[in-house]
Amino acid sequence: MFARVSFPISSFRSFTYKIPISLNGTVQPGTCVNAPINRRLQPGFVVAVSADSGYKGKILTIDSIREKELHIPEELWQTLEWISQYYITPLGQVLKAAVPNSFLKLYKPKQVQFVKITPKGLNAISNFENKKPAQKRLLEALSCINEPVKTASLTEFASSPHTVCSQLEQSGLIESLSQPQITDPFEIMGPGEFQNIQLSKEQQGVVDSIQNAEKGFHPYLLHGVTGSGKTEVYLKLAQTTVQEGKSVLVLVPEIALTPQVASRFRKAFGSRVALWHSRMTKAEKGWTWQQLKKGEYSVVVGARSAIFAPLKNLGLIIVDEEQESSYKQENPAPRYHARDVAMVRGKQSNAAVLLTSATPCLESYYNVLQNKFTLLKLTKRYGKSNYPAVELVDMKKEYSDDGSALLSKSLIQAINDRLERSEQVIILQNRRGYSRVHQCLECGEIKKCKHCSVALTFHRTDNNLHCHYCEAFEIPESKCGQCNAENMTFSGSGTQRVEDVLQQQFPDAKILRMDMDTVRGKGSHIKILEKFANGKADILLGTQMIAKGLDFENVTLVGVINADSGLFFP
């Protein structure tokens, strides 16, 4: 028997190898194997198996199967082959995107010490010596917790928790155990217990339409007005799918920016939910991949790359906000669109595919008109919520009084009113940086990136001009590179400049800024949102990332700066 193997290289070629007798019957398409190439063993995936190689020369032999956990399911394998053909990308590169090299090493998590109280320890609390207050405090804390606690997290009760725990363990009052330490990617906001979903009549009609349809692949487009409760609908559908013993894949534009969506699924499905997004470490992704292969998860919530998750018995794929451009992979190859790949994977898995949006893309709506998708509608807002009152302000009148005005008088007054009532405000400025344009007033030349030919943005944090496409930067010059005139100026505003104006206008207010410059660190976006949710800030200023999936009860005002700039973006 022979196998064609594809390696993660930029070549459309696959390589033929002989399958050793010991591996006959176990090597099949999707199997990860070790095979010799360029005089060393490399991991590759089997593309096809045949009885004849069609070659009479010497053929190298597969060395071994890499990891059984890395075998790609048949339906996912067929999807990857489609991506390779449709996007004209070598299968090896597609495999590299679906199964990064870091997954090819079996991840072994670090072992960390945990402790829990023993029955003897519970009985000893009331008669414990006052001479050992740290031990008593620690015992009292452990008595209130029914599960093992990480020893290092007990510093609130003892300055040296490891020493105190060691003493208590010697007395038989607690027991220690080692557990794998996995950084929980679900460090997300939204505490509280999951409440049973109560659907409106219109929502229930949508759910019934999908559940009563013939089982198997069927694409749906759920067109619901803003606030109509589309999330409640697909949560209910996900619950039913899991109860039937099938798995659910939920794609959102960027999971790192929509923690509340993931939080709701975690509350509904508990530990059966896996999270997948760009902020996870290689170790976290490797561990999640292994657990998915073992069938430990029924639901995956993630960004576009989650479309490659090796879920077993896939029954439902949900693409939330399907019109978002972030579903399109630009670099590196394969340059796939997750929405389109979801359709193909749904067909290969015989699973239903639900696209949801308040503003569907033209492609999806065209497919509805062609009777390829089934259109479902939610025309009413969920619960008792009403549409917000919207006030449009003509900034030309504001500029006549103050040529540099960024905030209108009515917005300033509205913010003041909210701050006096201890309410919160969200300000949207969909441009990061300080000034968007560095321009010569003599000839009109705009300073552009040498690599991308797009206007450079001035950032006051380092006083440099930055390209938001390739991340190149340079020092602003006083002379124009075109006419040599010393009349360069900055114009336009970004989040940094708006932040300065807000600080000057409301010096006592606590302001948080959320854009790509402030969320580069791991978990930084979560910390910002948690601070705002916990009332530790009055104003949240940010780019479009604060306009997705956020729900704060104490927010009573949203201001949009330069709203019409979105009409000319990019």
pLDDT of residue 67: 72
Q: Residue 562: pLDDT band by 50, 70, 90 thresholds?
A: confident
Q: Residue 188: pLDDT band by 50, 70, 90 thresholds?
A: very low
Q: Indicate the helix (H) or strand (E) that contains 125.
A: none
**The pLDDT of residue 113 is above 80:** yes
Average pLDDT of the segment spanning 46-53:
88
Residue 495 backbone phi and psi in degrees, to 5: -60, -35
Tokens standing for residue 123? 């009985």
- 258 and 317 share a domain? yes
Q: Residue 378: pLDDT band by 50, 70, 90 thresholds?
A: very high
pLDDT of residue 192: 40
Residue 33 backbone phi and psi in degrees, to 5: -125, 160
Burial of 355 from C-beta contacts in 10 A (0-12 / 13-18 / 19+): buried
Query: For residue 562, which of 471, 489, 466, 497 has the smallest C-alpha distance?
Result: 497
pLDDT of residue 189: 42
- 511 and 458 share a domain? yes
Q: Residue 80: pLDDT band by 50, 70, 90 thresholds?
A: very high
**Residues forming a β-bridge with 319:** 251, 355
- 147 and 257 share a domain? no
What CATH number did the domain enclosing 33 receive?
3.40.1440.60
**Looking at the domain assignment, is residue 251 inside a domain?**
yes
Average pLDDT of the segment spanning 70-76:
84
Residues 6+ apart with CB under 8 A from 318: 234, 237, 238, 248, 249, 250, 251, 353, 354, 356
Average pLDDT of the segment spanning 321-337:
90
- 370 and 441 share a domain? no
pTM: 0.76
**Looking at the domain assignment, is residue 388 inside a domain?**
no
- 555 and 496 share a domain? yes
- 487 and 550 share a domain? yes
Which region among 186-190, 319-323, 472-476 has the lowest average model confidence (pLDDT)? 186-190
- 464 and 553 share a domain? yes
- 337 and 205 share a domain? yes
pLDDT of residue 183: 58
**Looking at the domain assignment, is residue 114 inside a domain?**
yes
**Looking at the domain assignment, is residue 383 inside a domain?**
no
Structure-derived torsion over alpha carbons of residues 412, 413, 419, 425, reported in degrees to the nearest 10:
-50
Residue 435 carries which side chain, given as an amino acid letter? S
> What are 487-510's pLDDT values in tens digits?
888 878 889 989 999 999 999 999
- 334 and 443 share a domain? no
CB atoms within 10 A of CB 75: 21
What CATH number did the domain enclosing 295 receive?
3.40.50.300
Helix axes of 91-98 and 74-86: crossing angle, nearest 10 degrees: 130
> What are 453-482's pLDDT values in tens digits?
888 889 988 889 999 888 899 999 888 988
Last residue of a domain, one of 181, 212, 234: 181
Distance CA 57, CA 16 (A): 11
**Looking at the domain assignment, is residue 196 inside a domain?**
no
Average pLDDT of the segment spanning 217-239:
91
**The pLDDT of residue 68 is above 90:** no
Of residues 519 and 115, the one with the higher pLDDT is 115
Q: Residue 190: pLDDT band by 50, 70, 90 thresholds?
A: very low
**Looking at the domain assignment, is residue 550 inside a domain?**
yes
> What are 24-38's pLDDT values in tens digits?
888 888 888 999 998
Rg of the chain over Cα atoms, rounded to whole angstroms, equals 28
Which residues in 42-69 are b (16+ Cβ under 10 Å) and which e? Answer: bbbbbbebeeeeeeeeeeeebeebbbee
- 134 and 90 share a domain? no
What rounded mean pLDDT belongs to the chain?
85
- How many domains, the chain? 4
**Looking at the domain assignment, is residue 194 inside a domain?**
no
CB atoms within 10 A of CB 554: 14
- 309 and 450 share a domain? no
Residue 304 carries which side chain, given as an amino acid letter? R
Last residue of a domain, one of 35, 70, 104: 104
Last residue of a domain, one of 104, 122, 150: 104
Domain with 335 in it: 201-378
**Looking at the domain assignment, is residue 386 inside a domain?**
no
Q: Identify which of 40-54, 314-328, 508-522 has the greatest average pLDDT.
A: 314-328
- 211 and 169 share a domain? no
